[in-house]
């Protein structure tokens, strides 16, 4: 059976929308209640059966590495074995975590190029740090939904979500080859269209990429925002490759925006037995 065993998670962005806190802490470590975004992304990967993760960080993001250090002086000086620390140790046993530095933020396409040595000859998953997917009770959700599709037909898969047409300029927008269904072939993809978007189905941070993406990235020119766009590499791939777009289980929140971050925090808090009653009472006020 075809299996996706590796995931790449780029988190090297500067997080300027969350200044001033991101001056001292990486955006991916901002907590949703009491657990940082990056931990949720790894949990999603584990739930999908992925065994190895590469986290792409910036030059000043050693705090991400330190977060997963369960042998630090802080941990050693705790007066008991906290379950939360035990859980991080368990998570590290479930998925092997590696890191690579992206010295300069040159776009998502450039970040993916940094994963070539880690990926080797394998196809792989890509999860974007600004897109948090809440499981909503599903055991397999987010990237796991796309991994299941890959197991049946190995190909490129783009996780998509319907957005208002007046918001399409913020996303990579797919052009469906046929009428929409939960999973469909695409004939084109456009990065942040300024007008006349081909649809309102937007790429929202979950991808299955074939190993051939690296050859297309080498041919990709500087695009929107003066950066190397993964979307442009996928558009090149469409000349030879079949690419599917699919919705996925779970609820996606844009935690790169302040309102999305607050919405995700409320959703998680309402799902927790230790907080649900108090949160619901507060929201009724």
pLDDT on residue 106: 85
Record the pTM.
Answer: 0.93
Tens-digit pLDDT profile for residues 249-261: 999 999 999 999 9
The two tokens of residue 46 are 């584990």
Cβ distance 111 to 102 under 8 Å? yes
Where do the domains of the chain lie, and which CATH numbers do they carry? 6-284 (3.90.550.10)
Mean pLDDT of the chain: 93
The CA-CA-CA angle for residues 94, 97, 98, to 5°, reads: 160
3-state helix, strand, coil in the chain (%, to 5): 40, 25, 40
Cβ distance 229 to 220 under 8 Å? yes
pLDDT on residue 283: 78
**60, 69, 70, 173, 175 from 66: Cα distances, Å:** 12, 5, 8, 36, 42
What ranges make up the beta strands (E) of the chain?
Answer: 6-10, 31-32, 35-36, 52-57, 96-101, 124-127, 131-134, 156-162, 172-176, 183-191, 201-209, 243-246, 251-254
Check residue 245 and report its DSSP letter. E
Tens-digit pLDDT profile for residues 228-283: 899 999 999 999 999 999 999 999 999 999 999 999 999 999 998 888 888 888 87
The phi and psi torsions of 14 (rounded to 5 degrees) equal -80, -15
Query: Digits of tens for pLDDT over the chain (285 positions)?
Result: 689 999 999 999 888 999 999 999 999 999 999 999 999 999 999 999 999 999 999 988 999 999 999 988 898 888 888 999 999 999 999 999 999 999 887 889 999 999 999 999 999 999 999 999 999 989 999 999 999 999 999 999 999 999 999 999 989 899 998 776 789 999 999 988 988 899 999 999 999 999 999 999 999 988 777 888 999 999 999 999 999 999 999 999 999 999 999 999 999 999 988 888 888 888 777
> Which of 96, 91, 160, 149 lies closest to 123 in space, CA to CA?
149
Tens-digit pLDDT profile for residues 194-211: 888 999 999 999 999 999
CA–CA distance, 69 with 92 (Å, rounded to integer): 10
CA–CA distance, 110 with 123 (Å, rounded to integer): 17
The reply to whether omega before 20 is within 30° of 0 (cis) is yes
Print the SS3 string covering 167-225: HHHHCEEEEECCCCCCEEEEEEEEECCCCCCCCCEEEEEEEEECCCHHHHHHHCCCCHH
> Which of 186, 198, 199, 191 lies closest to 172 in space, CA to CA?
191
């Amino acid at each position: 059976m075809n299996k996706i065993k590796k995931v790449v998670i780029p988190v090297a962005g500067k997080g300027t929308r969350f200044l001033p806190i991101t001056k001292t802490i990486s955006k991916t470590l901002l907590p949703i209640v009491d657990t940082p975004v990056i931990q949720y992304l790894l949990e999603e990967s584990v739930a999908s059966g992925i065994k190895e993760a590469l986290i792409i960080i910036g030059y000043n993001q050693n705090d991400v590495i330190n977060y997963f250090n369960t042998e630090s002086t802080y941990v050693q000086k705790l007066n008991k074995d906290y379950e939360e620390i035990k859980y991080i140790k368990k998570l590290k046993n479930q998925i092997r975590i590696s890191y690579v530095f992206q010295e300069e933020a040159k776009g998502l396409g450039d970040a993916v190029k940094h994963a070539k040595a880690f990926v080797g000859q394998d196809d792989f998953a890509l999860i974007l740090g600004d897109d948090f997917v809440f499981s909503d009770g599903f055991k397999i959700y987010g990237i796991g939904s796309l991994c299941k599709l890959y197991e049946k037909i190995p190909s490129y898969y783009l996780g998509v979500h319907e957005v208002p047409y007046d918001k399409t300029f913020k996303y990579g927008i797919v052009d469906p080859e046929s009428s929409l269904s939960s999973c469909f072939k695409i004939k084109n993809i456009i990065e942040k269209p300024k007008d006349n978007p081909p649809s309102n189905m937007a790429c929202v941070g979950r991808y299955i990429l074939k190993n051939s993406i690296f050859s297309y990235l080498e041919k990709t020119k500087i695009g929107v925002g003066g950066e190397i766009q993964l979307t442009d590499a996928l558009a090149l791939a469409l000349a030879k490759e079949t690419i599917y777009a699919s919705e996925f289980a779970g609820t996606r929140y844009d935690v790169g925006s302040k309102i999305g971050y607050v919405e995700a925090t409320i959703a998680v808090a309402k799902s927790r037995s230790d907080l649900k009653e108090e949160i619901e009472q507060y929201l009724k006020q």
